[in-house]
Structure 1
Amino acid sequence: MRFSGKTALITGGGTGIGAAVARRIASEGGQVVLVGRRKEPLMAVAEETGALVIAADAADGAAMAMAVEATLEAHGSLDLLIANAGGHGVGPTVTMSDETWALATRSNLDTAFVSARACLPALIRARGAIVVVSSIAGLFSGPDAIGYVTMKHGCIGLAKSLARDYGRKGVRTNTVCPGWVRTAMADEQMQVLIDRKGLSGADAAYALVTRDVPINRPATPEEVSNVVCFLASPEAAMVNGAIVTVDGGASTVDLPTLAFVS
């Protein structure tokens, strides 16, 4: 019951990693507040967890201020922020529109910054914690994903700044960088690969993208949530400013040597 008496606000909490984190925190005694633009998936997770649902854009300052106010009114404190909202920004530079670039910025970096800004006063009072969900795309670059890669790099810089500036005020901030995770968003990318390569289905696509990953498979949302929840918990009391990969070892691979592997 690591989260007994704690309240966690989770952006992008209706699906994938955010939903898995919500379930884990609730199962360990915590109160959960889910923020997202689509109410239906949030309500589905709330039925399992008893969460407070706030349908809002995490990149909207006024909406996030109201979300924090509603959280404090319902639970009396705010102890944890899981800045998980993200997505969008795939495509090459020369054909990426201003609108797609702006959407990548808003969906990934703005959501993390705006939610942190709104939550920090309450987190300081609670001596709480922030976990920013970035990606190994925030450490490396993938092909034709300029918006997503840039903003996920930005999320890591944001978390480092928060760790430096607010660690002295009792708020720890850490970053989790997943590799491929079997989520609805990743399934969409697998469909692109299925169509392009003529693969038999999602299992074949995931096998292809994790072919050179040492553990040789994608993560589950629950496996990522285990790491997120550790960093959010008192067990990680001395962890601040860390970047933790949850990628099956993908980031350990020396790409120039792959040609020598039979």
Structure 2
Amino acid sequence: MTKRLAGRVALITGGGTGIGAAAARRLVGEGAGVVLCGRRAEPLTAVAEALGDAAAVVAGDATQAADVRRMIGAAVDRFGRVDMVVANAGGHGLGTVADTDDAAWAQSLDINLTSAFVTVREALPRLCEGGGSVVVVSSLAGLFSGPAVAGYVTAKHALIGLTKSLARDYGRQGVRVNALCPGWVRTAMADEQMDALAATRGLTREQAYDLVTTDTPLGRPAEPDEIASVIAFLLSDDAAAMTGSVVVADSGAAAVDLPTIAFAHTD
């Protein structure tokens, strides 16, 4: 593995599991120091212990400015700087509009959108000091809608608007901001969704993953490490000309013309 990120320091929200944990491993492998943030200390600590002195942990809520400031303070105390942000915290936003009450709507926006907004806002002074880089983890749901996930789809779409606003306003200060839109990724959150689908169809979890990726060109979900490699690229100087970009890593799902799928299944 290259050391493209040697000497740099990243804040990673949602760093205890899935894409966040994989990103931490990848960035440390590329020479970076990382500070992991999440609401639960246990998974964060487990990830950090495996990474040794290159990782620090701050248990907290990425929607709360005070907690994000503690995260930034921990990065400065431990490593002396903040160069990168992976705004990865997020969660469900289930239900149609009619089924979503005010509390559920607010929660979906908080965990998926406000978490990224607050984290990047609080980190901007540090990022502007030496030219920083941000990856906002949106979703394929930031480009397309799924059934009965109105809160999630809305928040993930909004993350792309946040990315473009940040890119426009802070590019001249040397800050690059790009959005990443994964499709299905084999994570604990996706496992829960597969289990729910499997229960309704009489399938196993693996059969459910097969079902949701049947019509994607690669025919499989991504692995967290594959998404982490895209994050590392976007943070690195290899992507120096990219800001305000929306990068899709979805096993090819967005390349499929859904109305023509029926013509492909004629046997």
User: If the length of structure 1 is used for normalisation, what is the TM-score?
Assistant: 0.98
Could you tell me whether the CA contact under 8 Å between 1:86 and 1:108 is conserved in 2?
A: yes
**Residue pair 2:35, 2:74 contacting (<8 A) in 1 also:** no
Map residues 180-195 of structure 1 onto 2, 5 A cutoff: 180-195=184-199
Asked if residue 164 in structure 1 is aligned to residue 171 in structure 2, the reply is: no
Q: Is the 8 A contact 1:32 1:49 kept in 2?
A: no
Equivalent of 1:9 in 11, 14, 23: 11
Counterpart in the other structure of 1:23: 25
Distance 1:99 1:198 in 2: 33
In structure 2, stretches of 5+ residues that fail to align are none
* Equivalent residues of 1:88, 1:103 under 8 A apart: no
Q: 2:228 maps to what in 1?
A: 225
What letter corresponds to residue 41 of structure 1 in structure 2? P
- Identify the range of structure 1 (76-85 vs 64-73) with the bigger mean alpha-carbon deviation: 64-73
User: Deviation at 1:62?
Assistant: 1.3
C-alpha distance in structure 2 between counterparts of 1:220 and 1:210, whole Å:
13
2:120 is equivalent to residue 147 of structure 1: no
Task: Give identity over the alignment, percent.
Answer: 56
CA distance in 2, matches of 1:6, 1:100: 37
Q: Distance in 1 between matches of 2:225 and 2:237?
A: 20
TM-superposed CA distance for 1:68, in Å, is 1.0
Contact 1:84 1:112 in 2 (8 A): yes
User: 1:176 maps to what in 2?
Assistant: 180
Structure 1 CA distance for aligned equivalents of residues 242 and 97 of structure 2: 36
Q: Name the SS for the 1:52 alignment partner.
A: strand
Whether the 8 Å contact between 1:88 and 1:148 is mirrored in structure 2 is: yes
**Residue pair 1:26, 1:32 contacting (<8 A) in 2 also:** yes
1:240 equivalent to 2:217? Answer no
Q: Distance in 1 between matches of 2:241 and 2:40?
A: 35
1:192-207 matches, cutoff 5 A? 192-199=196-203, 201-207=204-210
Contact 2:89–2:115 at 8 Å: present in 1 too?
A: yes
2:7 alignment partner, SS class: coil
Aligned partner letter, 2:179? T
Identify the match of residue 70 of structure 1 among 74, 96, 100: 74
CA root-mean-square deviation? 0.7
> How far apart are 1:88 and its partner, in Å?
1.5
Shift >3 Å, 4+ stretches? none
Deviation at 1:100, TM superposition (A): 1.1
User: Corresponding residue for 1:250?
Assistant: 253
Match of 1:259 among 255, 262, 265: 262
Match of 2:36 in 1: 34
Does the 8 A contact of 1:6 with 1:78 survive in 2? Answer: yes
Q: TM-score, normalised on structure 2?
A: 0.96
**Residue-pair matches, total:** 261
Opposite residue 35 of structure 1, the aligned amino acid is C
Distance 2:136 2:99 in 1: 29
| Aligned-pair CA distance for 1:29 | 1.2
2:63 paired residue number: 59
